[in-house]
Amino acid sequence: MNLASIDLNLLVAFDALLSEGSVSGAAARIGLSQPAMSKRLAHLRRLFADDLFVRHADGVRPTEKALDLADPIRAALRQIQDALGGFGQFSPERSGRIFRVATTDHIAATLMPRLMPVLRSAAPRISIVLRSLHRQEIVDNLDKGSIDLAITILPDAPTTIKRAPLFHVNWLSIVSAEHPEIRDAMTLELFLKYPHLLVTHVGDLKGYIDRLLDDRGLKRTVAMSLPYALAVPAIIAQTDMICTLSANVIRLTNWPRVRSFPLPFDYFGYQETLLWHRRNDSDPGHAWLRRMLIRVSETVTS
């Protein structure tokens, strides 16, 4: 494909169509009329020899070809914006940017109720797309530009990834309110005696707590792991299992039919961290959102 024949505005139109899922929405996003956006879509189809976006009841949906092109085109647009000085003077009240953030459901439950009121007030047209990624996928997705930010623990990130500390995480263990033995206190003996439910995105039967126990020469039995917390209270309420989660999530959700206890051994906890690629460091919009996340994280108590 001859690069001289490609109009950069076509790639901007492609990104808008992918983000908005409709011709009219994409047109409004980049300040075009609907007929003008339709013409750009027709040009894109000729350029890539593919329909790219097919009509559907709720707008348009990307083809497999469009999905394959999405990450490279978005990464290229970000690099061009970076080379030209980012987004210039960022106005949060007028911006319609979409930010993609990789994180877990328990971090989302902790931070998003604090962040979204700020965005609705200061930047009502900005959208946040949360994605769930395995930890080992995060650097690659930040490199490609598939995500703008990640909130997780990533101690071995390369130098291309910048970071800022957010909030400290402590743990609580929950058991059924009708547990046959754990009622008034959680002892180490009881903690090791009963099976555990592990919430992890890795798809494994070992997590952070197991590493703490390994350091003490101890071992627990993990009977089940799952990648999300929504099902946890129902499972715990019906079994003799134990689940250890972020104390913030347990306090926030106020789950019925379960009791919570501190861990029966000393530990330091850990720091959740905000991660981004260094090419976005001076992007004013990106920097603004990072400041908002850091600010709301200061209200999180461990």
pLDDT digits (tens, 9 = 90+) for 35-72: 999 999 999 999 999 999 999 887 899 999 999 898 88
pLDDT, tens digit, for every residue of 165-197? 999 989 999 999 999 999 999 999 999 999 999
pLDDT digits (tens, 9 = 90+) for 95-113: 888 899 999 888 998 999 9
pLDDT band (50, 70, 90) for residue 84: low
pLDDT value at 87 more than 60? no
Q: Does 126 score more than 60 pLDDT?
A: yes
Average pLDDT, the chain: 89
**Predicted pLDDT at 96:** 83
pLDDT at residue 176 in the model: 98
Average pLDDT over residues 199-211: 88
Residues of the chain above pLDDT 70, percent: 95
d(CA 99, CA 68): 20
Per-residue pLDDT of 243-278, as tens digits, reads: 999 888 888 777 889 999 999 999 888 889 999 999
154: exposed, middle or buried (Cβ count in 10 Å: 0-12, 13-18, 19+): middle
Residue 84 DSSP label: T
- The predicted structure's pLDDT at residue 121: 95
| Residue spans in the chain of domains classed CATH 1.10.10.10 | 3-69
Q: Once rounded to an integer, what is the mean pLDDT over residues 65-82?
A: 82
pLDDT band at residue 302 using 50, 70 and 90 as cut-offs: low
* CATH T-level topology, domain 171-267: D-Maltodextrin-Binding Protein; domain 2 (3.40.190)
pLDDT tens digits for 160-172?
Answer: 999 999 999 899 9
Long-range contacts of 292-299 (CB under 8 A, 24+ apart): 292/115, 292/118, 292/119, 292/122, 293/111, 293/115, 293/149, 293/151, 293/166, 294/164, 294/166, 295/118, 296/111, 296/114, 296/115, 296/118, 297/111, 297/114, 297/166, 297/167, 297/272, 298/167, 299/114
Q: Say which CATH topology domain 3-69 has.
A: Arc Repressor Mutant, subunit A (1.10.10)
pLDDT of residue 283: 86
* Residue among 107, 98, 115 nearest 17 (CA): 98
Fold for the domain defined by 98-168+271-297: D-Maltodextrin-Binding Protein; domain 2 (3.40.190)
Residues of the chain with CATH 3.40.190.10: 98-168+271-297, 171-267
